[in-house]
Structure 1
Amino acid sequence: MDRLCCFNGSEIGGHQSSCTSGKGRSNQGQITFGYSLVKGKADHPMEDYHVAKFVNMEEHELGLFAIFDGHLGDAVPAYLQKNLFHNILNEEEFWVDPGRSIPKAYEKTDKEILSQKSDIARGGSTAVTAILINGRRLWIANLGDSRAVLSNGGQALQMTVDHEPNTDRETIEGKGGFVSKMPGDVPRVNGQLAVSRAFGDKSLKSHLRSDPYVQDKTIDLSTDLLILASDGLWKVLSNEEAVNIARKIKDPQKAAKQLATEALKRDSKDDISCIVVRFR
């Protein structure tokens, strides 16, 4: 995901490695995951961050997975990596009503970013998050164009909405902004940002939204796997293509690597970040 703008200066937080991968499993070992992050061809440091882990909390096992795709530096995705799940899980209503508490935590986190005394908020980030509760209940949320796709019996089910400027054009224009498209380019908010919802982006925030799209799903025996990825993957692979590639590879880390490799073969220029969660 990109934004047409340049600036000079430093960002808080360390840069991700240009190529990172790993794997893990639930405590019971029945659910496995793997991830792969590859720096794109653009002339800037890696701006994608991720979370992929299982934790125990209040006698529940939680799988926490996320891709944060930054623009104008890595400060905002680095902040999200450290704070977003903490804010979600500390919402009083989380265990009673995740569908209400997740949006509240997203909005709270965005306000924290915008209120920083440093210039962290001049940059921004999309986000796609997944919380798996006890291996049975899956909660997905997203801002921007990073995407979550579930394989249900081999059928690709998109669990997120791509927040492109045309999607929220009425809201953007109602707030005094505009959506423009140069020849050969994509629609952009005020001629700059290629998504209509994001964390940060202080200069555009009056025209952007930070409330996420949220969807939940019960995991059953027909659920094969979950793919979370930045738009560096989805620009060149369809949901069905990604699912077909991942389902053929038992090791989720190898599956994530193969998805990233395929995106590179198809000449994706953006950073490519992918998490594959295999349920059975």
Structure 2
Amino acid sequence: MSKNITHGFHCLKGKSNHDMEDYVVSDFTKKDDRELGLFAIFDGHLGHDVAKYLQTHLFNNILKEHDFWTKTEEAIKRAYHSTDAEILEKARLLGRGGSTAVTAILINGQRLVVANVGDSRAVICKNGVAKQLSVDHEPSKEKSMIEKRGGFVSNLPGDVPRVDGQLAVARAFGDKSLKIHLSSDPDVTDEMIDDDAEFIILASDGIWKVLSNQEAVDTIKNIKDAQMAAKVLIEAAVSRKSKDDISCIVVRFH
């Protein structure tokens, strides 16, 4: 692990009556003499099995792509699609649920490649300013695409927009019963880690429902310990009445 990079994570079960549905990857590894930081939040719904499958398989599938080093974005997109296909094939075993995902691959501490489907989010802090690196895939924003696939977006009073009246995200892994109307296409962002970069946050939507990107950055900007920063961020979300399962990773560049 790079001497000048530290990382930590924290997870908290929400107030719902089901088991914790979030899974996290926060690790460093070596591949072809390069150092890789692998970070991910998988936020499951209708059960945790799809998120658990992603935790153990998605990065393996990404790194197996033959052109990962030369065509990184295309390789990640292919791996997202092939992993989703595996999940759909195993629907009897994994159940009818699904999962969002945000993944970040740090290459030699210098280049960060972020991909996501759903509403878990990656944010980088540069010179104290928050910059979002992922895209929130909300049904209201992708209504025309969902309708072209034969689905619909409902927005009942007092509720959030949902695909076919069920799912509050427009892209996800799994969800076999809705897949004809859902996408698993990731958005991919490539960011150079320069001297201005202070830290990145990856977190499930339980944080972003109650904290803006800048509020999240400001909450932890003076906390040097990455794991403590992740814990403090979750505590801040809970203090603002977030009731969801919450997972958070913080990666600090020193």
TM range (shorter): over 0.9
CA contact (8 A) 1:246 1:252 kept: no
1:194 corresponds in structure 2 to: 168
2:206 corresponds in structure 1 to: 232
CA contact (8 A) 1:141 1:215 kept: yes
1:13 corresponds in structure 2 to: none
Question: Alignment partner for residue 274 of structure 1, among 242, 248, 251?
Answer: 248
How far apart are the structure 2 equivalents of 1:208 and 1:119?
21
Question: Alignment partner for residue 87 of structure 2, among 110, 113, 117?
Answer: 113
CA contact (8 A) 2:153 2:165 kept: yes
Please tell me whether residue 91 in structure 1 is matched to residue 65 in structure 2: yes
Question: Alignment partner for residue 34 of structure 2, among 48, 57, 60?
Answer: 60
2:223 corresponds in structure 1 to: 249
Structure 1 residues 121, 102: closer, same or farther in 2, change over 3 A?
farther
Q: How does 1:1-280 map to 2 (within 5 A)?
A: 26=1, 28-116=2-90, 118-280=92-254
How far apart are the structure 2 equivalents of 1:187 and 1:144?
13
Over residues 233-265 of structure 1, what are the superposed CA-to-partner deviations in whole Å (9 max), with x where a residue is unaligned?
100111001101121101011100000011111
How far apart are the structure 2 equivalents of 1:204 and 1:117?
12
The alpha-carbon deviation at position 117 of structure 1 amounts to: 5.8
SS at 1:118's partner residue?
helix
State, as a whole percentage, how many aligned pairs show the same letter.
Answer: 60
TM-score, scaled to structure 1: 0.90
**Higher alpha-carbon deviation: 120-129 or 72-81:** 120-129
The alpha-carbon deviation at position 118 of structure 1 amounts to: 2.4
How far apart are the structure 1 equivalents of 2:94 and 2:88?
8
CA contact (8 A) 2:91 2:176 kept: no
SS at 1:203's partner residue?
helix
SS at 1:204's partner residue?
helix
SS at 1:261's partner residue?
helix
Over residues 5-49 of structure 1, what are the superposed CA-to-partner deviations in whole Å (9 max), with x where a residue is unaligned?
xxxxxxxxxxxxxxxxxxxxx2x3210001000000011100000
Task: Extract structure 1 runs of 4+ deviating beyond 4 A.
Answer: none
How far apart are the structure 2 equivalents of 1:237 and 1:248?
17
TM-score, scaled to structure 2: 0.99
**Higher alpha-carbon deviation: 43-52 or 117-126:** 117-126
SS at 1:122's partner residue?
coil
SS at 1:215's partner residue?
strand
CA contact (8 A) 1:113 1:121 kept: no
Structure 1 residues 68, 117: closer, same or farther in 2, change over 3 A?
closer
User: What RMSD, in angstroms, separates the aligned Cα atoms of the two structures?
Assistant: 0.8
**Higher alpha-carbon deviation: 91-100 or 76-85:** 91-100
How far apart are the structure 2 equivalents of 1:72 and 1:221?
42
Structure 2 portions without partners, runs of 5+: none
